[in-house]
Structure 1
């Protein structure tokens, strides 16, 4: 459906880490250490040195920041095939299998959903309430604020209180969908579907012809929702870290 070499750089740019660096085609991301996407090395193409030397450099880069080294290896990228063997030899193991799904943009918006260019306090309240812990929520909110323009932040209120949210980043003719969250008291009511539809409708007006999103491979309800909205798996990735 799409070459990961095309979409992965857009995904990295759409969810920017607090600190970023490169070793040739390897992208290094560091933030507060919780969100794996912005605390991992993304080997998208060849590094600027021998692979073993590059691995040593990555490990030293993260050690200097007090963070464990992690690698995001993507299916379909030739760099990942050799690196998986090298990382396993160093004591790393794969975890958190994730699907990248690709779908259409367009459709009708929802007048009940507010779509803003920046996240407001109500949006952040839902995000924080559904985060794994306060520090995790804070790190992700900071990442949301770094999404380059044009970005959109959708919020659906129920009885005057924020109930469901989602965000999108536009780049390279695609819309990346992030941060889909529903407050615990409002789950299984179809609110996430409405937020998703609002985001992809807005994305079409901003010039995005297709949308992509990332979802953990074990999250069957979310995958079913996205599939029902026209999204299909494009490829997958895993994080490699030491136990």
Structure 2
């Protein structure tokens, strides 16, 4: 369906961290410490030094920024091959399994949905209202504003008030779907589906043939929604974090 080694670099570039660095094929991302994707090391290819030295350097890099070290290990795409064992010996363990789903960039236009190239105040209002942690919401909004062009932001208003939103980053023939949120008073009305389809239609116009998205493995309602629109699980990843002694 898709080689994770092809898609993962696109995923990293589509949701850029505030600060980025490299240890050879290991990508270091740091922001405010909330969203794991932009506060983790992505060991996609071999590091530029001995693996144990690379682990030392990655831990030091996060420590210098006041952040806990995290490693994002994608099924079949991490180097060296024994990295899980090396992390286990250092007291790390896997958490938060996430699925990457792939589907066609096929949607439909919806005249009720406003499409913009940057998030506006109304988009941000919905995003903030649906964030359980204000700091987490702020960090993710900052990441949304860093999505490279071409990007698309969708907002659906109900009775003059913003009700549902979503965003897409387009690159390498793919559209990455992010920030799908629905205001609490408007959930279970099919609004998320309308936003998704509008984003997919716009992404195709921007050159995408296929789309990908990331969803937590235990989020059954979201997985079912995406499956109905032709998305299938392609692979999974997990974060490795320090576990209590």
User: Given the two structures, how large is their TM-score scaled by the length of structure 1?
Assistant: 0.99
Name the counterpart of 2:218.
218
Name the counterpart of 2:129.
129
The CA distance in 2 between the partners of 1:34 and 1:107, in whole Å, is 32
Count matched residues: 243
Encode CA deviations 1:52-109: one digit per residue, 9 max, x unaligned.
Answer: 0000000000000000000000002152741111111100010000000000013321
Contact 1:74 1:80 in 2 (8 A): no
Contact 2:99 2:234 in 1 (8 A): yes
Name the counterpart of 2:184.
184
Name the counterpart of 1:51.
51
The CA distance in 2 between the partners of 1:144 and 1:201, in whole Å, is 20
The CA distance in 1 between the partners of 2:238 and 2:232, in whole Å, is 18
* CA-based RMSD: 0.8
Structure 2: 5+ residue runs without aligned partners?
Answer: none
Name the counterpart of 2:238.
238
**Residues 146-225 of structure 1 aligned to structure 2 (within 5 Å):** 146-225=146-225
> Which stretches of structure 1, 4 residues or longer, exceed 3 Å deviation after superposition?
none
Name the counterpart of 2:16.
16
Contact 2:14 2:147 in 1 (8 A): yes
Contact 2:175 2:208 in 1 (8 A): yes
Could you say if the C-alpha distance between residues 115 and 3 of structure 1 is closer, same or farther in structure 2, counting changes exceeding 3 Å? same
Structure 1: 5+ residue runs without aligned partners?
Answer: none
The CA distance in 1 between the partners of 2:47 and 2:175, in whole Å, is 28
The CA distance in 2 between the partners of 1:171 and 1:196, in whole Å, is 17
Residue 32 (1) aligns with residue 38 (2): no
The CA distance in 2 between the partners of 1:172 and 1:155, in whole Å, is 25
Name the counterpart of 1:92.
92
The CA distance in 1 between the partners of 2:80 and 2:133, in whole Å, is 31
User: Given the two structures, how large is their TM-score scaled by the length of structure 2?
Assistant: 0.98
Contact 1:73 1:80 in 2 (8 A): no
Where 2:79 maps in the other structure, the secondary structure is: helix
Name the counterpart of 2:60.
60
The CA distance in 2 between the partners of 1:109 and 1:216, in whole Å, is 28
The CA distance in 1 between the partners of 2:107 and 2:224, in whole Å, is 19
- Tell me how far 1:36 sits from its aligned partner: 0.3
